[in-house]
Amino acid sequence: MTEKKYKRVLMKLSGEALAGSKGQGIDLETVSSIANEIKAVHDMGTEIAIVVGGGNLWRGEPASKVGMERSRADYTGMLGTTMNALVLQDALERAGVQTRVQTAITMQQIAEPYIRGRAIRHLEKGRIVIFAAGIGSPYFSTDTTAALRANEINADAILMAKNGVDGVYDADPKTNPEAKKFSHLTHLDIIQKGLKVMDATASTMSMDNNMPLVVFNLNQPGNIQKVIAGENIGTTVTGEE
């Protein structure tokens, strides 16, 4: 069995990652591919929790800017994250991995309510747990959800699986060929430099609780396993220099 740097992780998946090359909606082939990558890490004996976004289906903040009431727009986005979670659950189950979806908004017909102790028990039994519906309140991003849940379940690190971006840069590498990639940063660097990694609430929570963060390219096959094994890919963010 491959040596592991992290025993229990929380992976943050953007909704866009599930859209594949389509850019929006859900591409089932892409979801199946992601599920197989996650299964390979699960087979290493790693305990995995996942927070999935909903940006491929809905974004609350832009909707509020064109007149929709913000809380209602955000709740709509939470439903989008639940749709993504159920699709990802199905792909993981078909790959042979026992999975549970827990939602911050009660939807008892389709998922468990979020209960910290139950989530930890699922992880200990080798099940993957997918957290959906954010934290159940408007105005909070799924980045903040990831930071909160990672600390609640005592994760060793947050894995920020990016769609086509292989780490943190000082500028957008897609538009600036001179952009510099960082191999290591602190959470304070993220906040002070205004780097677009997590929102300020999530970064502050991660810094206050000394929660490591690894930002890497999800689209490169085998990258999740490399991160778990401790290989130096992407950008590692820690609480200390």
* pLDDT tens-place string over residues 64-96: 889 999 999 999 999 999 999 999 999 999 999
Between CA 223 and CA 233 the distance in angstroms is 8
- State the DSSP H helix or E strand holding residue 39, giving kind and residue range, or none if neither: helix 28-42
Between CA 77 and CA 54 the distance in angstroms is 6
Closest listed residue to residue 2, CA positions, set 36, 42, 50: 42
| Percentage of the residues of the chain whose pLDDT score is greater than 90 | 83
Between CA 15 and CA 68 the distance in angstroms is 21
Q: Which domains does the chain have, with CATH numbers?
A: 8-238 (3.40.1160.10)
Mean pLDDT of the residues in the chain: 94
* DSSP secondary structure of 45-68: T-EEEEEE--TTT--HHHHHHTT-
* pLDDT tens-place string over residues 134-145: 999 999 999 999
Between CA 68 and CA 50 the distance in angstroms is 29
| pLDDT number for residue 18 | 95
* pLDDT tens-place string over residues 115-134: 999 999 999 999 999 999 99
First to last CA, the chain: 31
| pLDDT number for residue 172 | 85
Q: Which residues contact 103 (CB under 8 A, 6 or more apart)?
A: 82, 85, 111, 112, 113, 114, 131, 132, 133, 136
What phi and psi values does residue 191 have, to the nearest 5 degrees?
-70, -50
Between CA 234 and CA 160 the distance in angstroms is 10
